[in-house]
């Protein structure tokens, strides 16, 4: 005759509906005559009934954050392939004037680089359309045109001094098209400290009529944000220099619509009255700043939305921002 130890072990199963019909029958029969087992059963039932009920809704940004990181991983490659970083000799081929093509920010820049990298990918049409729209750029475009036909050739000139990647696995072979993200990283590394902007852009931006910082999201000229005052404006020269030092680009990512809408924008920087090369026009440039998962991201006002992962520590940027805010008070 089984003793209480045996019955005790099936009590749990009965509570969970996992006992076989025979076991259930046995146990019920036993409990009629055994108060201890009855009390244990009733206690187990009691705590089961008293378990927390109802599912909590996860935070709205959970899914967006997850997809953001997954897409970021996808863009920048999950396992970084160690390669010697080589100076890209594209500059040797481009005339000084043509260099300025690279300095055009926004969609045109993106399109241009695409075309250089993937000459047969059909981006040529896009490029031609964009380029044709602005006659000031056409001279530079002609200089760059011959390279639309060729593969990009990479010369083994020198290794970047502070390579973040491991040494020692194969150099990039000639005629191998580079990933766009690697290219931009290289281009940026040609200039001061991985800056988000190339040199000539930076010169324009530093001379911008005004640089204003807004907390969170801000859209200039929209009625929704009409009443908003900047948290800091009229940055002095030192602040501007610091700002540009902080705005570094480590890698590029694309955004899905979900991610873009749901993530918190830390601040928005508006550069107004930025002179355009070789033109009397001025433009505004809007840079959105995200901090997510302890990484800083910058997005330039361009279509499609591209954001740059930065290697600046978020805390450094936050301190800079706080410093400006406090100075204004």
Partner 1 sequence: MTREEELYLVQEAQGGDTASFEKLVLSNQTRVYNLALRMVGNEEDASDMSQEAFIKAYNSIDGFRGDSRFSVWLYRLTTNVCLDFLRSKSRKQHDSLTYQDDEDDGRELDIPDERFSPDTLAEKKELREAVRRGLEKLPDDYKVILLLREIEGLSYEEISLVLSLETGTVKSRIFRARKKLCGILLSDRNFSYVPSSDNSKGV
Question: CA 249 to CA 261: how far, in whole Å?
Answer: 22
The 79-118 contact track toward partner 1, x by CB under 8 A, reads ----------------------------------------
Q: In the bound complex, what is the minimum distance in angstroms from residue 13's beta carbon to partner 1? A: 6
Least distance to partner 1 from the beta carbon of 262, Å? Answer: 12
Question: Counting contacts by CB under 8 A, is residue 36 touching partner 1?
Answer: yes
CA atoms within 13 A on the CB side of 289: 27
Q: Does residue 317 contact residue 246 with C-beta atoms inside 8 Å?
A: yes
- Contact call for residue 39 and partner 1 (CB under 8 A): yes
The single residue among 2, 18, 279, 323 that binds partner 1, judged by CB under 8 A, is 18
CB of 48 to partner 1, least distance (A): 6
Which of 47, 96, 226, 229 is close enough to bind partner 1 by CB under 8 A? 47
Helix (H) or strand (E) holding 108: helix 107-117
Report the candidate in 89, 156, 154, 145 with the shortest Cα–Cα distance to residue 116.
145
Q: Does 21 interact with partner 1 (rule: CB under 8 A)?
A: no
What minimum distance in Å lies between the beta carbon of 52 and partner 1?
6
Nearer to partner 1 by Cβ, of 62 and 327: the residue is 62
Q: Is 78 in the site for partner 1 (CB under 8 A)?
A: yes
Does residue number 224 form part of the binding site for partner 1 (CB under 8 A)? no
Q: Does residue 55 bind partner 1 (CB under 8 A)?
A: yes
Between CA 24 and CA 14 the distance in angstroms is 6
Quick check: 226 binds partner 1 (CB under 8 A)?
Answer: no
155: number of Cβ within 10 Å: 13
Compute the least distance from the CB of residue 64 to partner 1, in Å.
Answer: 9
CA distances from 321 to 54, 268, 325 (A): 42, 11, 6
Q: Using CB under 8 A, which of the segments 35-43, 84-92, 112-120, 294-302 binds partner 1?
A: 35-43
CA gap 106, 102 in Å, rounded: 10
Identify which of 253, 240, 235, 252 has the alpha carbon closest to the alpha carbon of residue 206: 240
Stretch that binds partner 1, among 62-70, 87-95, 124-132, 310-318 (CB under 8 A): 62-70
| Residue 213 three-state SS | strand
Paired residues of 299 in beta bridges: 288, 307
Is residue 200 within 8 Å of residue 100, measured between CB atoms?
Answer: yes
CB of 81 to partner 1, least distance (A): 17
DSSP per-residue string spanning 11-53: HHHHHTT-S-HHHHHHHHHHHHH-HHHHHHHHHHHHHHHTS--
Q: Is 234 in the site for partner 1 (CB under 8 A)?
A: no
Does residue 76 belong to the site contacting partner 1 (CB under 8 A)?
A: no
Q: Quick one: which of 14, 27, 40, 324 contacts partner 1 (CB under 8 A)?
A: 40
Site string for partner 1, 245-284 (x = CB under 8 A): -----------x-x--------------------------
- Interatomic CA distance for residues 37 and 27, integer angstroms: 9
Alpha-carbon Rg for the chain, nearest whole angstrom, is 30
Q: Which residues bind partner 1 (CB under 8 A)?
A: 8-9, 11-13, 15-16, 18, 36, 39-40, 42-48, 50-52, 55-59, 62-63, 65-67, 69-71, 73-74, 78, 256, 258
């Amino acid at each position: 005759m089984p003793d209480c130890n045996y019955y005790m072990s099936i009590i749990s199963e009965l509570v969970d509906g996992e006992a076989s019909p025979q076991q259930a029958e046995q146990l019920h029969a036993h409990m009629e005559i055994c108060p201890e087992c009855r009390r244990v059963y009733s206690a187990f039932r009691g705590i089961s009934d008293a378990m927390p009920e109802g599912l909590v809704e996860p935070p709205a940004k959970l899914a967006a954050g997850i997809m953001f990181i997954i897409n970021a991983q996808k863009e920048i490659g999950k396992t970084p392939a160690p390669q010697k970083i080589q100076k890209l000799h594209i500059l040797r081929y481009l005339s000084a004037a043509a260099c300025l093509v690279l300095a055009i920010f926004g969609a045109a820049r993106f399109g241009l680089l695409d075309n250089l990298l993937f000459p047969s990918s059909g981006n040529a049409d896009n490029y031609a359309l964009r380029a044709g729209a602005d006659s000031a750029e056409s001279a530079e475009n002609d200089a760059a045109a011959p390279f639309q036909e060729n593969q990009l050739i990479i010369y083994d000139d020198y290794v970047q001094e502070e390579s973040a990647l491991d040494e020692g696995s194969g150099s990039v072979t000639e005629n191998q098209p580079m990933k766009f993200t690697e290219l931009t990283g290289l281009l940026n590394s040609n200039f001061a400290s991985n800056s988000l902007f190339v040199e000539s852009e930076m010169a324009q931006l530093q001379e911008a009529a005004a640089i204003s910082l807004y907390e969170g999201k801000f859209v200039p000229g929209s009625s929704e944000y009409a009443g908003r005052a900047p948290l800091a404006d009229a940055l002095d020269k030192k602040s501007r220099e610091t700002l540009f030092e902080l705005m570094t680009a480590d890698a590029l990512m694309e955004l899905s619509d979900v991610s873009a809408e749901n993530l918190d924008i830390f601040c928005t920087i508006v550069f107004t009255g930025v002179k355009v090369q070789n033109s009397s026009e001025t433009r505004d440039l809007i840079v959105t700043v995200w901090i997510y998962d302890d990484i800083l991201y910058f997005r330039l006002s361009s279509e499609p939305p591209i954001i740059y992962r930065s290697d600046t520590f978020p805390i450094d940027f936050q301190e800079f921002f706080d410093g400006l805010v406090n100075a204004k008070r």
